[in-house]
Amino acid sequence: MKPMKLIFILTAVLGLSACQSKVEYGDATEVETVNENFGSTDLQAISAKMVDSMLTFPPVVAMTQNDRPIIFVDKIKNKTSEHIDTESITDTISNKLLRSGKFRFIDMTRVDAVRKQLDYQNNAGMVDPSTAIKFGRQVGAQYMLYGNLSSIVKQDGSTKDVYYKMTMRLMDLETGLLEWSEEKEIRKSKSKSFLGL
């Protein structure tokens, strides 16, 4: 085999092996620092802070002592310049609160699907009327949980600073009074090296 052809084959084999990628499972709770954008560690920190605060706030402790209040969660508003899946934050907080055994939730994201199913049961003529769920029997929410995620981004040369603030509130729907409120702040900085990495 000619030396030039051998070098070409070796280069091709090495090139292919260098292009192969490797996928590994990681710890979902491990601190993630790929970049300065909002990430999984931020979501977990915010969710833990909000749930711990709400469950230990004295008026909330009193209202859940002998009852499981019914809550609906309004969509968290994303006031940052990033595309952030705020529904994921809402889901994590809702799940943690539901699993605490202190609250019950109404899922407002499924109202249209429920309405269609009730309409089918009551009006399609295909469901035994004695087993059809009647309209107007659902329980109303007593409280609304809602919030905002905002950010301030500053950049000076090779340094970028991102400040996130999550605010959540619990409102009594009958009185309009706020029963609980909390904020969680996160600051992240990124400096580029002289090589631009």
Backbone angles phi, psi at 53, to 5 degrees: -65, -45
- 153 with 161: CB under 8 angstroms? yes
Residue 142 inside a domain? The answer is yes
112 is a domain residue = yes
Task: Return the CATH number at 66.
Answer: 3.40.50.10610
Q: Give me the domain span that covers residue 168.
A: 36-190
Specify the number of domains making up the chain.
1
In a domain, 103, yes or no: yes
Residue 131 domain-assigned?
yes
**Got the DSSP string for 84-135?**
--HHHHHHHHHHHHHHTTS-EEE-GGGHHHHHHHHHHHHHSS-S-TTTSPPT
Domain assignment present for residue 172? The answer is: yes
pLDDT (tens place) for every residue of the chain, 197 residues total:
566 666 666 566 666 555 567 766 655 566 555 556 676 677 888 888 999 999 999 999 999 999 999 999 998 899 988 888 888 888 889 999 999 999 999 988 888 898 899 889 888 889 998 888 888 888 899 999 999 999 888 888 878 888 889 999 999 999 999 999 999 988 888 777 655 55
| Per-residue model confidence (pLDDT) at position 47 | 87
Tell me, yes or no, whether 50 lies in a domain. Answer: yes
* Residue pair 64/102 in contact by the 8 Å Cβ criterion: yes
Mean pLDDT over the full length of the chain:
83
What pLDDT does 173 receive?
96
First-residue to last-residue Cα distance in the chain: 42
86, 155 in Cβ contact below 8 A? no
Residue 135's pLDDT is what? 84
Residue 27 lies in a domain: no
Give the residues across from 168 on adjacent strands.
147, 182
Taking alpha carbons only, the member of 148, 142, 138 closest to residue 110 is 138
Which pLDDT value is given to residue 104?
Answer: 95
- Contacts for 29 with CB less than 8 Å, ≥ 6 apart: 44
Helices 86-99 + 40-56 axis angle, to 10: 40
Residue 157 DSSP code = T
* Per-residue pLDDT tens digits for 57-85: 999 999 999 999 999 999 889 998 888 88
Q: Is residue 28 part of a domain?
A: no
